[in-house]
Amino acid sequence: MLQSPKQTPLTIIVHGGAGNVSPHYHTAALQGCEAAATAGWHVLQDGGSALAAVEAAVRVLEDDPVFNAGTGSVLNADGEVEMDAGIMDGATLQIGAVAAIQHYAHPISLARRVMEASGHHILAAAGAERFAQSQGFAPVPNQQMIVPRRQEQYEKRLAAGTADTVGALALDAAGNVAAANSTGGVNFKLPGRVGDSPLAGAGFYADNAFGAVATTGQGEHIMRVGLAWRAMQALEQGTTAQQAAQQAIALLQERVPDGRAGLIVVDTAGRVGIAHCTRDLPTAYWRQGAAGPVSALRA
């Protein structure tokens, strides 16, 4: 049974991507996650929806060159940025996603517009970009989103030392949950490759009856087991958010032994869960009653 609005503890949790974060970026990754959680928290405190909170949080991460989303995304095999993003409203089960897009610095906002204005759930590549133009989104030169360290990784063919995907979950005062993910994908991917991030049930899911999930890591591994949906099934069976996260990662490791992934979970009581089988997963969350966000590099 859903809690009444008066009993619902406001909650926001974000992740900065499962992977191996270079020691040089440990502090910046945690600070970036805290900034994103704070942005989402302010939306919730002001009476905003969970949907608006996760969008606001992910936009902060997309603007931070430390993370592999928006500005700072990794480069594909052609040396270009291609991005995916997805968002879901737990109150309506509506989904919006974009895949393999360029020229737009906030894919998460475009994904939300797909959900609200297109009549579809996913738009990709040139079609998504034409939709963005029709909706008044301002394109930017794709080169503008390439930061020096990503260019250096491309030139040296280095795949280590980076994180993957960013995401956010929120629970608002009305008891609504929402999930959002955004990513530049994997280093040196083939042009047109789409990962788990824009796929409901793999990269994210939200349902007011149980909670919300956002995953991160190697998209091909995540898609094989439907990682977000596995965590949702655990919540449906009555587990806590932390148990759901741990069970989902355990299943991934069982079914895909070389799998690399992580996830964050929030349940309808505002409890958060964090689990990963990578070395690092920078996260930050802010729950009602706390003085500020709680961040960590590893669960």
Catalogue the active-site residues: 165
Cα dist from 239 to 99, 157, 232, 272, 285, whole Å: 32, 42, 10, 12, 20
Angle at 17 between CA 15 and CA 19, to 5 degrees: 140
Residue 58 CA: distances (Å) to CA of 15, 173, 230: 9, 20, 23
Cβ–Cβ under 8 Å, residues 216 and 261: yes
Contact between residue 214 and residue 197 where contact means Cβ atoms under 8 Å apart = no
Q: Where are the alpha helices (DSSP H) in the chain?
A: 26-45, 50-63, 107-117, 125-134, 148-156, 219-225, 227-236, 241-255
Q: With CA atoms as reference, report the closest residue to 292 among 29, 102, 30.
A: 30
- CB of 284 closer than 8 Å to CB of 33: yes
Alpha helices (H) along 46-124: 50-63, 107-117
